């Protein structure tokens, strides 16, 4: 089977400090993969290696059939990247940003015009084509970044914190845009600090910490492995957690306690599992 993304025994060392350690991971064509990790876990470095911005110290990385070290130009033609930071030119219009990107990718003029129109309509910015980007809202700028990243018809889309700082309504709209792209067959790698975003969008989830992959699977698989029922007990100003294989087992345990003060039971979620594995919340 050919993979959209394949990392094998990847290491990255900066100034004698190991940032990524023996990372092996495969992502299937057509899936939305969520990559999670606390700040400093090696997540950003991994994305930089996948998108050819930095080279691995050791190991092999193949993206869309191209080796990131030996064939970086081939990789760049097949990927679209949407960074957390606003990377569009705010002094140009919406259309000019798209036009510039299309020319950088040497897209022929006739097809370039068609694709610009298509993707601006897809992200609902066609009516703002002549507006300066500086006049757009944060959500509109993010949608423009997505449209621009799709202009050269990449196979794989990298989304780094795509909805950070956006209001809930705008975030939900972007979720639908992302889902729609995936339904068209696009492979998407998503990093985010919003657990509900991963639960809603992602087929599989990888959690990295201290430069290593510490968990991998679908949300149902992770819940089955770590426990589908959770008992929470208040301990001063914090909560202690106990996982149970099923919710009924957690409820049974609670019913057997003589003092139930400060205790409650609920289904476990991805954030519970993340905290259990890493020992801290996402920063």
pLDDT band at residue 22 under the 50/70/90 scheme: very high
Question: Distances from the Cα of 36 to the Cαs of 17, 84, 209, 216, in angstroms?
Answer: 21, 15, 9, 10
DSSP classification of residue 61: E
Written as six digits, the tokens of 94 are 């919406």
**Which pLDDT tens digit goes with each residue over 108-161?**
999 999 999 999 999 999 999 999 999 999 999 999 999 999 999 999 999 998
Q: How far apart are CA 152 and CA 142, in angstroms?
A: 17
Q: Which residue segments constitute the domains of the chain, with CATH numbers given?
A: 5-221 (3.40.50.300), 228-267 (no CATH)
Q: How far apart are CA 34 and CA 47, in angstroms?
A: 12
pLDDT, residue 128, reads 96
pLDDT band at residue 280 under the 50/70/90 scheme: low
Q: How far apart are CA 199 and CA 273, in angstroms?
A: 12
Percent of the chain with pLDDT over 90: 84
Read off the pLDDT of each residue in 235-263 and give the average, rounded to a whole number: 93
Contacts of 169 (CB under 8 A, 6+ apart): none
Written as six digits, the tokens of 24 are 């092996």
Cβ density class 238-248: b for 16+ within 10 Å, e for less? eeeeebbeebe
pLDDT, residue 21, reads 95
Tell me the backbone φ, ψ of residue 183, rounded to 5 degrees: -65, -20
Cβ density class 144-155: b for 16+ within 10 Å, e for less? bbbbbbbbbebb
Phi-psi region of 110 (alpha: psi -120 to 50; beta: other; left: phi over 0): alpha
Q: How far apart are CA 122 and CA 132, in angstroms?
A: 19
Give the other-Cβ count within 10 Å of 254's Cβ: 18
Question: Distances from the Cα of 276 to the Cαs of 1, 126, 226, 239, in angstroms?
Answer: 33, 45, 9, 12
Contact 226, 68 (CB under 8 A): no
Q: How far apart are CA 171 and CA 160, in angstroms?
A: 14
Rg (CA), the chain: 21
Does residue 29 carry a pLDDT above 60? yes
């Amino acid at each position: 089977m050919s993979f959209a993304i394949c990392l094998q025994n990847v290491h990255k060392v900066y100034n004698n400090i190991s940032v990524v350690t023996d990372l092996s991971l495969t992502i299937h064509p057509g899936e939305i993969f969520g990559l999670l990790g606390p700040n400093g876990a090696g997540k950003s470095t991994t994305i930089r290696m996948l998108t050819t911005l930095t080279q691995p110290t050791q190991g092999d990385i193949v993206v869309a059939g191209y080796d990131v070290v030996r064939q970086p130009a081939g990789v760049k033609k097949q990927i679209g990247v949407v960074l957390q930071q606003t990377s569009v030119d705010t002094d140009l219009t919406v259309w000019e940003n798209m036009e510039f990107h299309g020319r950088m990718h040497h897209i022929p003029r006739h097809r370039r015009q068609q694709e610009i129109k298509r993707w601006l309509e897809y992200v609902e910015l066609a009516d703002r084509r002549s507006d300066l980007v500086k006049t757009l809202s944060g959500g509109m700028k993010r949608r423009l970044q997505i449209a621009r990243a799709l202009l050269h018809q990449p196979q794989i889309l990298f989304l780094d914190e795509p909805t950070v700082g956006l209001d809930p309504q705008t975030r939900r709209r972007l979720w639908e845009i992302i889902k729609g792209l995936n339904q068209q067959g696009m492979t998407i790698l998503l990093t985010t600090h919003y657990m509900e975003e991963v639960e809603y969008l992602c087929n599989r989830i990888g959690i990295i910490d201290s430069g290593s992959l510490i968990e991998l699977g679908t949300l149902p698989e992770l819940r089955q492995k770590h426990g589908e029922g959770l008992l929470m007990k208040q301990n001063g100003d914090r909560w202690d957690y106990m996982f149970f294989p099923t919710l009924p087992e957690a409820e049974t345990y609670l019913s057997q306690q003589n003092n139930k003060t400060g205790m409650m039971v609920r289904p476990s979620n991805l954030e519970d599992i993340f905290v259990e594995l890493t020992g801290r919340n996402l920063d």
